[in-house]
Amino acid sequence: MAHTFRYQKKGYYLEFSGAITMKELEWANSKIYEHEEFDNHKFQVFSLLNADLAQVTEEGPERLAAADFGGSLSRGNVKVALVAKDQTTVELCKEYQKTTEILQSSWQVRIFSEQQQAIAWAED
């Protein structure tokens, strides 16, 4: 797994590349929860454009959404932008989005095919 993680402008930017496992996604997600600015952040941008999520099963996004629902109870009204083009990755993103809606999370989730669109929406 290769990924970058940065915090700026009240938001988290994560960019993944190469083969990614569910364990690696959970680890990256935990970095957000453990970060000193978690209680102040307003958005998250996950760029999966160069990631291969073939090893992630359908239950993976559901687990991430459940964890994020817990986070939404202490930090509401966060925008989550998922950036993906690959069909498999987009389907996993849709599963995450659907699960957050079922759980009635206060976090807004949108899927984008272009990173700049995702960033513009998240930072707005």
pLDDT of residue 12: 98
pLDDT along the chain (124 residues), means of 10: 89 96 93 95 97 93 95 94 97 97 97 97 96
pLDDT of residue 3: 87
How big is the chain, counted in residues?
A: 124
**Are 53 and 23 within 8 A, CB to CB?**
no
Range of the structural domain that residue 96 is part of: 2-123
Task: Say which CATH number the domain at 38 has.
Answer: 3.30.750.24
pLDDT of residue 1: 60
Per residue, the 3-state secondary structure of the chain, as one string, reads CEEEEEEECCEEEEEEEEECCHHHHHHHHHHHHHCCCHHHCCEEEEEEEEEECCCCCCHHHHHHHHHHHHHHHHCCCCEEEEECCCHHHHHHHHHHHHHHHHCCCCCEEEEECCHHHHHHHHHC
Could you give the number of structural domains in the chain? 1
